[in-house]
Structure 1
Amino acid sequence: MIIKRLPAIFVLLLLASCNKPAPDNTKEKRDLAVVLEKHARTEILDKWYPQSIDKEDGGFLSTFTYDFKPTGDQDKMIVSQSRHVWTNSKASEIYPERKHHLEAAHHGFEFLRDKMWDKQYGGFHWLVDKKGNPKASGQGEKTAYGNAFGIYALAAYYKASKDTAALNLAKKAFMWMEQHSHDSVYKGYYQHLKRDGSVVARDASVPSTAETGYKDQNSSIHLLEALAELYQVWPDPLVRERLEEMLVLIRDTITNPKGYLVLFLTSDWKPITFVDQPDSIVNKHHGLDHVSFGHDVETAFLMLEASHVLGLENDTLTARKAKHMVDHALAVGWDDKDGGFYDEGYYFKDKPGITITHDTKNWWAQAEGLNTLLLMSDHYPDDEHHYYEKFLKLWAYCDKNLIDHQYGDWFEGGIDKQPEKKTALKGHIWKATYHQYRSMINCIRRLNGEEVNP
């Protein structure tokens, strides 16, 4: 049977239905789930796999043109290589009849084990060339962020395959992080590490605009995610302790009272901010100090996921903080006219409210927004923020401006704001399948009425 993509009028009718008193919209949700499932299978998975499998040198090809032709030197980064392993592992569980997904996950695991793991010092290399040689330009240095994704992928692959070699490497990576990256004094993890695992300190030689030596929200939230994935297959007491530690740090320290994440912090968790400086200084350091709405809505989901994995049944504090983050993003970072979360904003000292500094809408933030808005609509169906209505509006935006129905997958940014993205790279070391595929599988299950946690 051929399933056709539902026309835009279907989405508009669904939007209209949200304003009516409590209709039974089960059928509409399941019809939309069919649309999302077809998209996930044919416009994401089938475009990337098996095409991206590098049969010559191992792992996955990284870079593709807008029409999905391999291009460039095909460097391989631990983050995107791991995300390909994770995606194929999850797809193999949903589509067990599609044997190539588990085969692809195994193929990617072998590259992580044989090429990306540093056999001399331990830990995962950040970047290697196509053949798996550490890139000289990166000096072989490592990050907590990169190693977190290695652990994340290995845990997911073990769950799908029961390959104990993958679990053993995940344990090894966790213990390497424990020895080198974990901060036993102030807790959390140092982000920047030398090849031998020693921490890169921030000193006077580091430019004021550089991230070097800071702790940060991005590595922290993905460590939270990785530890949650690992704990589900290896319920070790130390993994649990670190998972709880990261949840509390993110919820109570990295998230500020307004409801958004502080991007960078000192080793003892003091926020890096330039708000009291002249606007010229603020703008110069914008990369270190702004509001990232996509990270906020993503983190709301990741905190609730971690709380669930830990079995914290009455964790009202995390639930309240997660909702606050989403509500803040909707209040000040949401495009109520066209739908979608803006990329960045800033609370300037002498200006009322927030200023949207980047009104573009990147692909991953919208994908995470879909997942989190639908989650919130399940938890708070009668809330004044009308999460389900906004989910539908965001899906309509993505369907029109982000999903490439001609060549497949998602544009890097919404083409209403950035029409040049229509012919930009479809894949590169920072863009693979993880955000959009995770969003789709979670949304499909919720729309179908399946029991979904968190």
Structure 2
Amino acid sequence: MKIFTIVLALLCVSNTVAQEIPTTEAQILQQMKYQATSQLMDKWYPLVLDYEDGGYFSEILYDFKVGSEQDKMIVTQARHIWATSKAVLFYKDSSFLAYADHGFEFLKSKMWDAEHGGFYDLVNKKGVPIQNERPQKTAYGNAFGIYGLAAYYKASGNRDALDLAKKTFYWLEENSHDKVYKGYYQSLELDGTPIKRDASFLSTSEIGYKDQNSSIHLLEAFTELYHVWPDELLKQRLEELLVLIRDTIVSEDHYMNLFFLEDWTPLSFKDTSKETIAKHYYLDHVSFGHDVETAYLMLEASEALEREDHQYTLEIGKAMVDHALEYGWDNKLGGLYDGGYYYEGSNSLEIVNSDKNWWSQAEALNTLLLMDSYFPDDEHQYKKRFKELWIYVDSYMLDHTHGGWYEWGLDRRPNSRKNPKGHIWKATYHHYRALLNCISALEARS
């Protein structure tokens, strides 16, 4: 039975009501429950299950029909396992366990490299590794493998899943972990050898650099695994990542640098022309979405570790959120812009990409409500920003006709109405986690 049929009588939310402007936390809570169930999870599952070749479909069109681009990425596949496993625990709905089981079988039989270890980054629809891609394995992809497996083990009790998560952790330890400078190499050869940067790479390529994105998601994955496997080495690596992110990757100006040399020297194009900076946008800019997401992930890890310096981590996380609100917030419509830049000789940040993607808004919803729980009377008015952001999401991110979230806010990219609802980088992870966390927080306050 669909989840929505269970909660419909309580929610009484129609498509018309869903588009009304919410004014209270109770109304937002009601809308979030409706969006998380009828308009998200019930839209995706079981539609997304590939019963012919295993795993989950990658491309889901704007109207929730299965598309034709069906290469399968470890990140997406593992995120589906994570989301369906969390749904099992949150809703006590066994149908989602079958959906998670389905994904686990594909992960262990098709995406795990039985010869060299580690998860392939990308396979075709049938699960055959795509050989012409480089890198063929990443720390980022293997992190999400751990993330999905740990959540699945908690939901299912399947020891094979925990064993595979452990095996992935040890594979990263042997191949990706940097014993000298700490952290993890992101780009890996098929046998796990780190790909080191050299002159043959294009200047715009991220291959061979260390980066914040794999680091924060390793932190996230190790936290999830630590909850079900409190191993001493895992604890050491989780603490190492937390301190590395908090004290090195986060700059003195309270935003994260994106890419780094081997010794964690930040990659910067600040002393070049604006044209060169724009060319290398994805390597060097201020990513407001990543900053607010990381504030949450650091606190989550700190709590799991029961660290004595939790208050200091909270202060750093708060400063990151405040920086994002000060420089990356749209004061007219609400929402976080995609990116900004501190140009040489300027003390103020300039918005260089005013688009608004779905995952940044989802992560900000979660983190703003979290900050409000710590600092309810703060001058940054986290509760007010949270409400404004939900109004923005309701107006420009939610598809009230077909369901689901647009990839980009319609205020900036109106053509997103016809963009796929799902692809290898977009499934149900960011927005489902945000909605579950917000629902839990709002219910605790009501």
TM category, shorter: over 0.9
Q: How far apart in 2 are the matches of 1:263 and 1:140?
A: 19
In the alignment, which residue of structure 2 is the partner of 1:197?
A: 192
In the alignment, which residue of structure 1 is the partner of 2:13?
A: 4
Q: How far apart in 1 are the matches of 2:358 and 2:371?
A: 20
In the alignment, which residue of structure 2 is the partner of 1:24?
A: none
8 Å Cα contact 2:212-2:257 kept in structure 1: yes
Q: Quick one: which of 156, 159, 175 aligns to 1:161? A: 156
SS of corresponding position for 2:352: strand
SS of corresponding position for 2:147: helix
Correspondences of 1:17-96 after superposition (within 5 Å): 28-96=24-92
Deviation at 1:126, TM superposition (A): 0.2
Poorly superposed stretches of 4+, deviation over 3 Å: 5-10
| Percent identity of paired positions between Structure 1 and Structure 2 | 54
Q: How far apart in 2 are the matches of 1:196 and 1:304?
A: 34
SS of corresponding position for 1:357: strand
Counterpart of 2:224 in structure 1: which amino acid?
A: E
1:365 and 2:360 are equivalent in the alignment: yes
Q: Quick one: which of 90, 111, 117 aligns to 1:116? A: 111
In the alignment, which residue of structure 2 is the partner of 1:20?
A: none
Bigger drift between 282-291 and 338-347 goes to 282-291
Q: Quick one: which of 368, 375, 384 aligns to 1:380? A: 375
Q: TM-score normalised to the size of structure 1?
A: 0.94
8 Å Cα contact 1:29-1:448 kept in structure 2: no
Deviation at 1:99, TM superposition (A): 2.2
In the alignment, which residue of structure 2 is the partner of 1:394?
A: 389
8 Å Cα contact 1:78-1:124 kept in structure 2: yes
Deviation at 1:9, TM superposition (A): 5.5
SS of corresponding position for 2:398: coil
Q: How far apart in 2 are the matches of 1:265 and 1:310?
A: 26
Deviation at 1:380, TM superposition (A): 0.3
Deviation at 1:41, TM superposition (A): 0.4
8 Å Cα contact 1:134-1:140 kept in structure 2: no
Gaps of 5+ in 1: 15-27
In structure 2, the CA distance between the partners of 1:413 and 1:109, relative to structure 1 (3 Å rule), is same
SS of corresponding position for 1:66: coil
Q: CA RMSD in A?
A: 1.4
Gaps of 5+ in 2: 1-8
In the alignment, which residue of structure 2 is the partner of 1:441?
A: 436
SS of corresponding position for 2:98: helix
8 Å Cα contact 1:118-1:125 kept in structure 2: yes
Q: TM-score normalised to the size of structure 2?
A: 0.95
8 Å Cα contact 2:210-2:264 kept in structure 1: yes
Q: How far apart in 2 are the matches of 1:7 and 1:118?
A: 45
In the alignment, which residue of structure 1 is the partner of 2:424?
A: 429
8 Å Cα contact 2:18-2:400 kept in structure 1: no
Post-superposition Cα deviations, 1:366-424, rounded to whole Å, max 9, x if no partner, equal 00000000100111000000000000000000011001111111000001110110001
1:253 and 2:262 are equivalent in the alignment: no
8 Å Cα contact 2:28-2:390 kept in structure 1: no
In structure 2, the CA distance between the partners of 1:264 and 1:317, relative to structure 1 (3 Å rule), is same
Q: How far apart in 2 are the matches of 1:7 and 1:93?
A: 26
Bigger drift between 175-184 and 349-358 goes to 349-358
In the alignment, which residue of structure 2 is the partner of 1:23?
A: none
Counterpart of 1:308 in structure 2: which amino acid?
A: E
Bigger drift between 51-60 and 282-291 goes to 282-291
Counterpart of 1:222 in structure 2: which amino acid?
A: H
SS of corresponding position for 1:287: helix
Post-superposition Cα deviations, 1:48-91, rounded to whole Å, max 9, x if no partner, equal 00000111111000101110111113110000000000000000
Post-superposition Cα deviations, 1:312-353, rounded to whole Å, max 9, x if no partner, equal 255211000000000000000001110000001000114451
